[in-house]
Structure 1
Amino acid sequence: MGSDDSSKLNSTRKRSSSLTDAGSNSPQSTNSRDLGTLGENLVAEWLEQQGWEILHRQYRCRWGEIDIIALGRDEASQKNPGISNHQFPILAFVEVKTRRRGNWDAGGMLAVSATKQAKLWQTAEIFLSTRPDLANNSCRFDVALVRCEPSGQNTKHIIPPLTGPNSQSALAGNYLLTLQAYIRSAFSD
């Protein structure tokens, strides 16, 4: 096994444990924060499959928190480099909303209010002030909506494994998580 193969194996092991760590509790004892972390894990894995680099998870400052900060290019600009005028990769600030069935806020979309958007914007500005190397990148705010449903089975492994570029579901603990929507450039200032 070459060093590339062992790196991929170790990366796969880390991803598997990150999706299942927070989901080892029973459905009754798993709190909203644990479910939110499971949803963030799914979205981070999906972004990595799309070729994005995760720069930070759960970035916190006095203004708030950004769930995922990722650096990459959209699929369209990767296939057709002439489409995009961006010399630098895009910096995406991703808000992940994980919701169970019967939620009141349109799968989490209504929770990204104008007040929440302003907090995300301020938090992103603080992040950028700490990373001047990213100053030339285009920035956008994305929203990922994740659906969480009890699966009826407890597993320590992801089923199916998140290996394909279009994989959008994972089984973690007692939950089936599905990426319902990934909204690019969901809002601006």
Structure 2
Amino acid sequence: MSTQKTVRQPADSIVENSLRLDTDRSEQIVDALNTELANTYVLYHQLKKHHWVVEGAEFLPIHEFTEEAYEHAEEGADLIAERAQALGGVPVSGPAEQADRATVSFEGEDVYDVRTMLENDLEMYGHIIESMRDSIELAENLGDFATGEILREILVTVEEDTHHVEHYLEDDTLVLEEATH
């Protein structure tokens, strides 16, 4: 195993890319992509936590949904990271750096009731949707329509998952509450 450590590209740097997007524009777009990447991983970890700790009468459907949702987040993160790299950037990859870069906050290590967990997810999804729309607009204003398209495709999935969370939070349920005596 080699002990030599050669940095090929420092984090937070932009190199020329073959996509013919100049480094000034690439830098702005990669910065936005790294924010989206960090936000996506915060969401991923929160959904993963909820998948592990969910309990109650609706355990199974929520357990299955959170698994699908964190898989969607991971797939989106991969696309975002690969695009940042293609633009000459370095995807933010360490947990500490992702937490610092994210504009959304993890709910913490405590376990909450199912409704609170889903409300926290819904809130985070909403912030991510707004941020992603801003990043799409930025990329397209800078002439990077491919990044806009990639983010738009991810946004469709994010919005679908958000809508599913919203359905889980509706008042209608087949589960009866115990009557208090």
TM-score tier after normalising by the smaller chain length? under 0.3
Q: Decide which structure has greater strand share.
A: 1
Question: Based on CA coordinates, which of the two structures has the bigger radius of gyration?
Answer: 2
Taking structure 2 as the reference length, what is the TM-score of the superposition? 0.27
